[in-house]
Structure 1
Amino acid sequence: MRKTAAPARRVTIVDVARHANVSTTAVSKVLRNAYGASPEMQAKVRQAMADLGYRPHAAARGMRGQTYSIGVMLPTIRNPFFADVLDGITELLRDAGYQVLIGPGCNGQAEEARVTETMIDHSMDGLILVAPVSSRQHLDRVAGLVPTVTVGRHGRSASYDSVADDDITGARLVVDHLVELGHRRIAHIDHLENDPDRLAEMPNAVRADGYRQAMRAHRLDEYIDIASTSYTQEGGYLGAQQLLSRLHRPTAIFAGADIVAMGALQAIAEAGLAVPDDVAVAGYDNTMFAAFAPISLTSVDQGGRQMGRNSARLILERIADRTRPATHMKLTPTLAPRRTTVTPTP
């Protein structure tokens, strides 16, 4: 009868210490980034860990107070903007010795609650919640249990830190740009918001409000036209179909996100119309696809990677000091004009 191979033994800090010819105390200091470990000592210990394939035991570290893991909740992995935010988070946390673990929120309160509670149960040192749709009460409760930072969510709380874009300014940049090109019938595709208690805090609602304010500032109140669908490619497609079916169709569409603009471009093409000659299109997020030459989408750059880095820095500061006052950062967006917006044909 063939013998079953014994499972490989997990490498311990004792093994690392022997391999590096240092004490286990020195290895522990390096793992904790503690004072007293010289650069030479750190290099020697980290090389030994790499040689042996050593991985710190998360459960044991959690019992000692830290797991050096950060949970990141993403509402969806299909929106390329969230990849930019995630890049910024992982870049900064990697240098700080933290591991990032991702959980999908699926754009729903119940699923977000399951994800955040699971991350808390696994003793993660902090949570970064990207565009959360949960109630303020739930966010405050989570932040009371573990250091928390929200990304993209407006509103201020004393319980958690936040990083958001100035979406009012971003929407104004789009409307100003289109008006300068000669457009008047400028429509907007929004994400339908069903929860009135959340309305003032969600980025889609703030962008829609910024669109209305900008249109009124240009005395274009009569042309305000919003199709409320979803911040998805399908939502952009359906929203554009609605707008193009109007008796007086818009000459320009401001989509609330690049992913929405992609769906709008598809609907416009299927209607036999040309971009930008018949309908100009602008997005929001300035994702890598917006700059892709065959698409060349005008878009608002809200600095997704920088938002991620800022949120990572804030979570580290919150972990280091749970009692400090909450920080609420707001980034200033810029417009990246491209081929999808030009002066309309007379």
Structure 2
Amino acid sequence: MDQHSDDAPSRPRRRVTIADVAAEAGVSTAAVSKVLREAYGVSEEMRTKVRTAVDALDYRPHTGARTLRGRSFTVGVMLLDVAAQFQWEIIEGISTHLEPTPFQEVLITGGLDPARQKRAVEALLDRQMDGLILITPGMEAAWLEELGRRAPLVTVARHGPADSYDSVVTDDHLGAGLVVDHLVALGHRRIAHITAPLGELARPSVLSQTPRLDGYCAAMARHGLSPHVVEADYSEAGGHRATARALDAAVPPSAIFAGADSSALGTLRAAEERDLDVPGDLSVVGFDNASVAGIGRISLSTVDQDGPSTGTFAAELLLQRLDGRADPAHRVITPELVIRGTSAPPR
């Protein structure tokens, strides 16, 4: 009887190991590990060799072995909510940077309430995340410092000094000044600003709305103009309510600087409901340059703070933390004003 008949069970394929990748690339297993961990000091030539071998052998790190070595190779990412469009652009940058590494992002929403955010973070830690990236965290500074001592941590859009964790922020003060300078150059003098509530956070450890408010007030003072600030949460509905209040003032503004593109969309809706022409009757400028801002029918003038690059920087810093860097690092994104169809000289 033929012992090699089609009915004979086939042997399971042996799992490709890191040693196999090292042999294929002609390097040490330590070198392979460094490339997979995005460690410091890896040359581009070494990276190419290892990546080529990984692809050729279809190597996938063994999850069980990872856990035994004390790592889950997962990164916990907290965002505010699923409707926060610009935050998804940050996550895109995080995901793209982690894709060629063994690390996988795990997302959780924290909402606006700092207590709920803390519960979300604890849920990630309970699932043995190797590190954390928190987008716009609203917890008190002391709690974040303690968290940074418990796990590698990077915050996004949280201003202020930090001893135990890293941060990535936009120069929001500069961005707000760019908006005011642009509107003043067009001839506007009555410029209102929609800002989100500051909450219980105190300078210098604050979220982005605070330096944007400070930048707006400083730029208005520089031009000899009086500020007009309206507070509402950063959302389409919040921007709509704030715009209604601004337009109902005894002397309504000729331009509105919304602190987020989501708020600016509410401003556009409020203007449309009042039959106001944008930008003829009312100029509108946002902040974020979310993808919706570039849609032709919206064509929102806004400040670009490069969400994908922000996410890339955050992921890069976290990988460095996981590789052993202990000193805090702070990255600042330089914003740029993008002028589209919603800002023009006042009538």
TM-score under structure 2 normalisation? 0.86
Task: Provide the secondary structure at the position in 2 that maps to 1:155.
Answer: coil
Distance 1:314 1:300 in 2: 24
Choose from 53, 57, 63 the match for 2:63.
57
2:191 maps to a residue whose letter is I
Q: Does 1:280 align with 2:283?
A: yes
- What's 2:232 paired with? 229
Contact 1:106 1:112 in 2 (8 A): yes
Change (3 A) 1:24 1:336: closer
- What's 1:167 paired with? 172
Distance 2:32 2:112 in 1: 37
- Residue 186 of structure 1: CA displacement? 0.2
Distance 1:276 1:132 in 2: 35
Choose from 333, 336, 339 the match for 2:335.
333
Distance 1:253 1:35 in 2: 50
- Residue 77 of structure 1: CA displacement? 1.8
Alpha-carbon displacement from aligned partner over 1:239-263 (angstroms, at most 9, x marks no partner): 0010010011000000000001001
Q: Which moved more, 1:159-168 or 1:23-32?
A: 23-32
- Residue 61 of structure 1: CA displacement? 2.2
- Aligned-pair identity in percent equals 36
Distance 1:236 1:70 in 2: 33
- Residue 207 of structure 1: CA displacement? 0.3
- Residue 25 of structure 1: CA displacement? 5.1
Alpha-carbon displacement from aligned partner over 1:161-214 (angstroms, at most 9, x marks no partner): 000000110000000000000000000001012314367521001101100000
After superposition, residues 91-170 of structure 1 pair within 5 angstroms as 91-170=96-175
2:192 maps to a residue whose letter is A
Task: Provide the secondary structure at the position in 1 that maps to 2:291.
Answer: coil
Give the paired residue count.
319
Runs (5+) with no aligned partner, structure 2: 1-10, 23-27, 36-45
Q: Does 1:46 align with 2:54?
A: no
Task: Provide the secondary structure at the position in 1 that maps to 2:58.
Answer: helix
2:293 maps to a residue whose letter is A
1:245 maps to a residue whose letter is D
Choose from 172, 192, 210 the match for 1:205.
210
Distance 1:24 1:183 in 2: 63
- Residue 57 of structure 1: CA displacement? 2.9
Task: Provide the secondary structure at the position in 1 that maps to 2:292.
Answer: coil
- What's 1:218 paired with? 223
Change (3 A) 1:262 1:192: same
Change (3 A) 1:341 1:62: same
Change (3 A) 1:225 1:61: same
- Residue 26 of structure 1: CA displacement? 3.6
Choose from 306, 313, 316 the match for 1:313.
316
Contact 1:85 1:307 in 2 (8 A): yes
1:337 maps to a residue whose letter is I
Choose from 229, 232, 249 the match for 1:246.
249
- Residue 24 of structure 1: CA displacement? 7.9
Contact 2:161 2:204 in 1 (8 A): no
- What's 2:346 paired with? 344
- What's 1:9 paired with? none
Distance 2:93 2:201 in 1: 31
Change (3 A) 1:271 1:328: same
Distance 1:307 1:263 in 2: 25
Distance 1:110 1:159 in 2: 21
- Residue 19 of structure 1: CA displacement? 5.9
Runs (5+) with no aligned partner, structure 1: 1-13, 50-54
What do you get for the CA RMSD once the two structures are aligned? 2.4
Task: Provide the secondary structure at the position in 1 that maps to 2:311.
Answer: helix
Contact 1:147 1:322 in 2 (8 A): no
- Residue 138 of structure 1: CA displacement? 1.4
